Amino acid sequence: MSLLQRTIFTGFSPNSTGTHVKIALSYLFLPWKWFSLRKGEALEETKQKILDYFSTPHAVLFDSGRSALFFALKALGVGEGDRVLVQAYTCVVVINAIRWVGAEPVFVDIRDDYTMDPNDLKQKINQKAKTLIIQHTFGQPAALDALCMIAKEHRLSIIEDCAHSFGVSYRGQYTGTFGDVGLFSFGSDKSMSCVRGGAVIVRDAALAKKLEEMERGLRPSSWVKIIQHLIHVPVFFVGKATYGFFGFGKALLFLAKFFHMTNRIMYKPEKRGKPVPFYPRQFPNALADLLKGELNTINTVNEKRKKISFIYRAKICNSSVQHPVDDVSFVPLRYTVRTKNPERLRAFAKTYSIILGDWYSQVIAPQTCDLSTFGYTQGECPLAERIAEESVNLPTERHMTEKDIARVVEMMNAYTDHPV
Ligand SMILES: Cc1ncc(COP(=O)(O)O)c(C=O)c1O
């Protein structure tokens, strides 16, 4: 990695902007804003923007997507002894939410486009199945027509997991509006971010009431966590900008993480299937303020993601690398390619000062999770297992310049490995 070349990141809070930094610093340093760290107008304004965006009657905000999912399952009456159908090739926090309501996850295999295979779903449904989680992985809409039809036949409630697909449409309609619940994440690496946050949208008034009551029953986010999330914004902004500058930014990010000054996407107990004491909580006003403006720009940001992916598809020509399935409605949060040796490709990319992503390197990610703890048996979802072993994410983030995109293309074309 060059000591001076600007580093291109895939994750590392890709959505942070100068505006976010200004907002975060204002909450940290202007004493009169301290009164609105937890409660304030931004909460209602953000919620209204989400309602307007989806033309939906109800939205409830939570501290994260995983908390939103946990309460969505509870509100749908999922509990002890129930089964929840979920695709393999997902994040451990999704599986935790299912297990923490007392239900059992049933893993469904995926298709080449990284989303649930309707044929395998049919095989896996049984009497105890109560809910289907449809994940639009990396911004690729799942086969909603087929999946919703199967769910209807078997009277399953549907949660659409749109953690990667805010503003992505399927047959002209936004993902998140097909099922009983649309679930969104505003975590630091998601479609739009406020460091940490989540939401559900629902049409049914009774379901909305239950969710609102659950949210009202939660404690507010702790001051420490709110401050940590606000500090995260300028630290990542400076850390990334200076990452390649004699390692200054790298050291800054390392130290900030070491001293718990920045957000962690996931905590160690969660990787072992255990909850953490400081969540779930209510969504804080200061983070809603960070999120509010994101709703004005998400469509432009998504267009940019698409444009970058068109360039990758057209210009990356390497027999060692398989492109994702070509679908016009795909808005790649990460452009995920397949290759026989992902670690080798990631290491090669570093020599170009490019840090590629590792979503999802295991059927229940991250790789350090013990699959048996989460009820997954090796061989259950063979295609998901193979794809997980071959996945590498290329960046599609909003700040990429033409030169950055060209550098990624150059690196990908220079890479050599055995053909897939
Ligand atoms: C597919 C998917 N769903 C839901 C979530 C939960 O989102 P959050 O990180 O906001 O809890 C994640 C998180 O990484 C995810 O990858």
> What digits encode the pLDDT tens for the residues 151-169?
999 999 999 999 999 999 9
> What's the average model confidence in pLDDT over 10-27?
96
Question: How far apart (Å, rounded) are the C-alpha atoms in residues 79 and 71?
Answer: 11
Cα four-point dihedral sign 374, 379, 383, 385: positive
Q: Which of 132, 131, 134, 11 is nearest to 79 (CA)?
A: 131
Q: Whose CA is nearest to atom 2 of ligand 1?
A: 163
Given a contact cutoff of 8 angstroms between Cβ atoms, the answer to whether 195 and 188 are in contact is yes
Mean pLDDT of the chain: 96
Structure tokens at 56: 């939906």
What is the whole-number distance in angstroms between the Cα of residue 145 and the centre of ligand 1? 23
Cα(65) to ligand 1 centroid in Å equals 5
The CA distance from 335 to 328, in Å, is 14
**Of 246, 384, 336, whose CA–CA distance to 11 is shortest?**
336
Nearby residues of 259 by Cβ (< 8 Å), 6 or more positions away = none
- Summarised one tens digit per residue, pLDDT across range 173-224 is 999 999 999 999 999 999 999 999 999 999 999 999 999 999 999 999 999 9
Domains by residue range for the chain, with CATH? 294-414 (3.90.1150.10)
Ligand 1 first shell, C-beta below 6 A: 64-66, 90-91, 93-94, 135, 161, 163, 185, 187, 198
Mutational pocket test of ligand 1: of 15, 84, 93, the residue with most ligand atoms within 8 Å of the beta carbon: 93
Probe target for ligand 1 pocket from 64, 66, 184, 189, with the most ligand atoms within 8 Å of CB: 66
183: helix, coil or strand?
Answer: strand
Q: 164 C-alpha vs ligand 1 centroid, how far in Å? A: 8
For the cut 90, the answer to whether the pLDDT of residue 389 exceeds it is yes
271-321, pLDDT tens digit by residue?
A: 999 999 999 999 999 999 999 999 999 999 999 999 999 999 999 999 999
Residue 198 and residue 178: Cα distance in Å, rounded? 18
What percent of the chain clears pLDDT 90, i.e. is strictly above it?
Answer: 97
* Contact predicate 187/54, CB 8 Å: no
Q: Is the per-residue pLDDT at 417 higher than 60? A: yes
pLDDT in tens, 335-360: 999 999 999 999 999 999 999 999 99
d(CA 119, CA 131): 17
Query: In this model, does residue 3 exceed pLDDT 70?
Result: no
Q: State the closest ligand 1 atom to the C-alpha of 135, by its place in the atom list counted from 1.
A: 1
Counting ligand 1 atoms within 8 A of each CB, the residue from 188, 190, 263, 334 with the most, and so the one to mutate, is 190
Q: Which residue of 84, 94, 336 sits with most ligand 1 atoms within 8 Å of its CB, as the best mutation to test the pocket? A: 94
Global pTM value: 0.96
The tokens describing 291, both together, are: 């999120």
What residues have CB less than 8 Å from 308, skipping those under 6 apart?
332, 335, 395, 396, 400, 405
In DSSP terms, 106 is beta-bridged to 85
- Ligand 1 nearest-atom number relative to CA 161: 3
Classify 134 in phi/psi space as left (phi over 0), alpha (psi -120 to 50) or beta.
beta
